[in-house]
Amino acid sequence: MNDDIDQVLIGRDDLDRRVTEVARQIAGDIGVAASGVGAAEITIVPILTGSIIFVSDLIRKLPLPMQIHLVSVSAYPGRSTRSRGARIRSQLTSLPEDLADAHVLVVDDILDTGGTLGIVRDLVLRSRPRSLRTCVLLRKRRPAAMAFPVDYVCFDIPDVFVVGCGLDYNGYYRNLPDIVTLRQEVTAGADA
C-alpha cells in the first residue's frame, strides 16, 4: 500500500494540529449559539464513508453534548477519480423529521464540486434545524469548490486526486494516516 504513494501532501501531525484548531473554533461558535434559550442540541451529520476518520478525530475534540446521524452519499463510484454526480444512497440512521432544537454540523472529507454537501444540506434543511453549519477536512482549489459556501475548511489543497484519512480510491487507502497522492500507474485506467 505504501509503495503506491507518490507524495505526502499533508502529514498526520499537521492534520491533528489543524483539526484541533478547527474544533476549538466550532466549539466556540456552536457553544455560543447553543447557550441561548431552551435545551439546544448539537447534531453531527457525517457523510459516509469518506468522513469517518475526520469526524471521529473532530468530535473527540468537541466538548459538547451531541447526537450523530449518518448519511451515505456516493459521487466517485469504483475506479473513478472524477465526480459522477452526487447521490444519496441511504440514510443509515434516518434524520429526525424535526430538528427544530438542533444545531446541525454536516461533516465531509472533501469539497470538490459541492454536489455532495449540497444535497445533504438540502436534506437537513427539510428538518428545519435551529442552525446549520458545514465542515470539511479538505477543499480543492478549483472554482466550483471555492465558490461553494462552507463554514469550516481545515485545508485548501491543489486540484488533484488524494487518498488517506478516510478518502479512498476504489474503496482502498482510507486507512492511510496522511493525505497523499497516488503514483500514476496506480490510477491508470481510472475514468476509462
- Which of 50, 115, 129, 164 is close enough to bind Mg ion by CB under 5 A? 50
Active site residue 13: no
Give dist(CA 158, CA 71) in Å, integer.
Answer: 27
The distance in angstroms from the start CA to the end CA of the chain is 23
Q: For the chain, how many residues are written?
A: 192
- Using the minimum distance from each CB to ligand IMP, give the nearer residue, 33 or 88: 88
Phi, psi values for residue 157, rounded to 5°? -125, 160
Residue 47: how many CB atoms within 10 A of its CB?
Answer: 25
Q: Which of 6, 14, 98, 112 is catalytic?
A: 112
Q: Is 46 in the site for ligand IMP (CB under 6 A)?
A: no
- Which of 40, 45, 59, 75 is close enough to bind ligand IMP by CB under 6 A? 75
- Using the minimum distance from each CB to ligand IMP, give the nearer residue, 102 or 117: 117
Give dist(CA 165, CA 97) in Å, integer.
Answer: 31
Q: Is 115 in the site for Mg ion (CB under 5 A)?
A: no
Summarize as ranges the residues that interact with ligand IMP (CB under 6 A): 47, 50, 75-76, 83, 86, 108-116, 161-163, 167-168
Q: Would you please indicate which residues are annotated as catalytic (active-site) residues?
A: 112
